[in-house]
Amino acid sequence: MKDLKIVTISCKQNKLIPNNQKFPVVIYKNCFGSKIAEIETIFNHHNWLNNWTNGVFPYHHYHSNTHEVLGVIAGEAELKIGGETGEDFHLAKGDVVILPAGTGHKRLSSSSDFKVVGAYPEGMSPNLRTEHRNKEKDREEIEGVLIPNQDPVFGHEGPLFDYWLNKGGKCKG
């Protein structure tokens, strides 16, 4: 992970997507290199569970009840993060994206072999929201999602905490 580069994105609430007003999206570029096959195992070791392997939906969506991590295990893609007014990001094999609860994301394009492993802190079961219909309820739910006890890649000492705890978040337990 010597070539690791960390990128953060703060997404503002917009008409259809609430995003997370407290925590930024954290992207670990070139995170896994030759250890690509270990992504799911590492997520699980750090208590990010309820794993799945697939692509990313080609429409804007978010989860108001949990954070989500996506680890790119094959190919590359362009994602829009933050809803229609968000930012486009190129992701490639070995990259990891940590999406705080409420953050919109959508696949814009991808290579034919694009695949990610997704997981949630403590194996949470995510809800799926495509529009910001009940703003007050969604906002309360998003604000109630605590910081997980471990960074999905680096465990208890991960850089995720530098970005989320410094924003006034509280860890579980």
Burial of 3 (0-12, 13-18, 19+ CB in 10 A): exposed
Query: Looking at residue 148, which CATH number applies to its domain?
Result: 2.60.120.10
Please report whether residue 173 resides in a domain.
no
Whole-angstrom CA distances from 33 to 5, 113, 132 are 12, 17, 37
pTM for the whole thing? 0.93
Query: Which of residues 13 and 7 earns the better pLDDT score?
Result: 7
Please tell me the predicted confidence (pLDDT) of residue 173.
Answer: 43
* pLDDT per position as a tens digit, 98-157: 999 999 999 999 999 999 999 999 999 999 998 767 878 888 999 999 999 999 999 998
Compute the half-sphere exposure of residue 122: CA atoms within 13 Å on the CB side of its CA.
11
> How far, in Å, CA of 120 to CA of 118, rounded?
7
2 — pLDDT class (breaks 50, 70, 90): low
Tally of structural domains, the chain: 1
Q: What is the pLDDT of residues 40-55, one digit of tens each?
A: 999 999 999 999 999 9
Query: Count H helices, E strands: the chain?
Result: 3, 9
The pairing of strands 76-81 and 87-92 is antiparallel
Residue 152 lies in a domain: yes
Cα angle 114-27-81, degrees, rounded to a multiple of 5: 70
Integer CA distances (angstroms), 125 to 57, 63, 86, 128, 171, in order: 17, 10, 25, 10, 19
- 41: in domain: yes
Residue 4 covered by a domain: no
pLDDT of residue 167: 55
Alpha-helical regions (H) of the chain: 39-45, 135-143, 160-164
Share of the chain above pLDDT 70, in %: 94
Give the per-residue pLDDT at 171: 47
152-171 per-position pLDDT tens digit: 999 998 999 999 986 555 54
Residue 56 included in any domain:
yes
Tell me the residue range of the domain where 96 lies. 11-166
